[in-house]
Structure 1
Amino acid sequence: MSDHADTARRFVADVWNGEREDSAYDLVAAGCPGFGAHGPEGVLAWHRDRRASFPDLRYELLDVVADGSRAALRWHATGTQEGPFGPVPPTGTAVSYAGATFLTFDADGRIADVWSVNELFQLLQQLGVGVVAPEA
């Protein structure tokens, strides 16, 4: 369904990239899992938190596939860490990483679930985070 593909593209442009955050109230269902809350506020909280760490964070959509009540997105993100990212203090480092996000839509065409996988380990490596092996 191309409507879901269009909604997915708008979700990335308006919400993820912060061009028109108020769109979350049109695009996201009340029960959609988020960051400390459900619905549009929870989804916005997650993206605001990420943009606090990387104010210039931008997602580029590489692929969008929609079928039935689902859409899959393949994306590439770039940004510069200017704020804390979890326990990592600001580094001023530019990062680049990729991922995929899967959206499920409700009967009203709103996003009811968001599930993503990404190259978080690669992102942390770019910020200079080391991995310490557990003791045997």
Structure 2
Amino acid sequence: MITEEVRKARRKLVLDHFHDEVRQEWDDVLATFPHPHYELIPTMTVHDGDAAVRGYYRDSRTAFPDQDHEIIAFRHTDDAVVVEFWLLGTHRGPLGAIPPTGSRFRVRMTAYFLFDADENLVCERIYFDSLTLLKQLIGGVNMRNPKNWLLAARFLRGLLKEAGADPHPTLLRTTPPVLTD
């Protein structure tokens, strides 16, 4: 079992991490990891290392420059902090191959902040329903206006291109836990 001291230190680190992401203070966010590592399970992508994570930050804030969050719940486990939150923002730039729609989104997410035996943050693993996000991005486009039909076609083409990406191999190789009584 983790101690109250460890619980408080983890809570502070994770809340600082969230706060600095909203402020887009990337050096401060990266300082919460000895080696930055993100796993986005819905897209089966991994961003590993300083350069890759900075690229992820750049790309996600190009797509959603006003990205913010609302924390719903905060839980501790022996090796992680689990945070449920709403992620919200406006689709102002490309999301990979998906063109911006100008639509607002609000998606419920869960992030697992994983710690090693020395209390170092080693991974942020994020889960969310990508269909909910995509429905909100395209759903905000007025399809009764013929001027938006080309945007919808480009959105669909971009979505198909993104869906064709190969999953990161480390997310496919999982080891079941050893469960003993």
Give, as a single letter, the amino acid of the residue that structure 2 aligns with 1:30.
Answer: H
**Structure with greater helix percent:** 2
Alignment partner of 1:28 is 2:38: no
How many residue pairs were aligned?
A: 131
Return the offset for 1:20.
2.3
* TM-score normalised by length of structure 2: 0.63
Alpha-carbon distance in structure 1 between the residues aligned to 2:118 and 2:35: 12
1:62 CA drift (Å): 1.5
Matching residue of 2:63: 53
Q: Distance in 1 between matches of 2:120 and 2:29?
A: 10
Q: Paired residue for 2:15, among 9, 16, 27?
A: 9
Q: Which of 98, 106, 113 is equivalent to 1:103?
A: 113
Deviation >4 Å, runs of 4+ = 33-37, 129-132
Structure 2 residue 137 is matched with structure 1 residue 116? no
Q: Which has the larger radius of gyration?
A: 2
What stretches of structure 1 of length at least 5 have no aligned partner? none
| Contact 2:69-2:85 at 8 Å conserved across structures | yes
Cα deviations across residues 75-109 of structure 1 (Å, max 9, x unaligned)? 10111111011222111111111110101123443
Structure 1 residue aligned with 2:151: none
Partner of 1:86: 96
Distance 1:31 1:22, change over 3 A: closer
Q: Report the aligned-residue RMSD.
A: 2.5
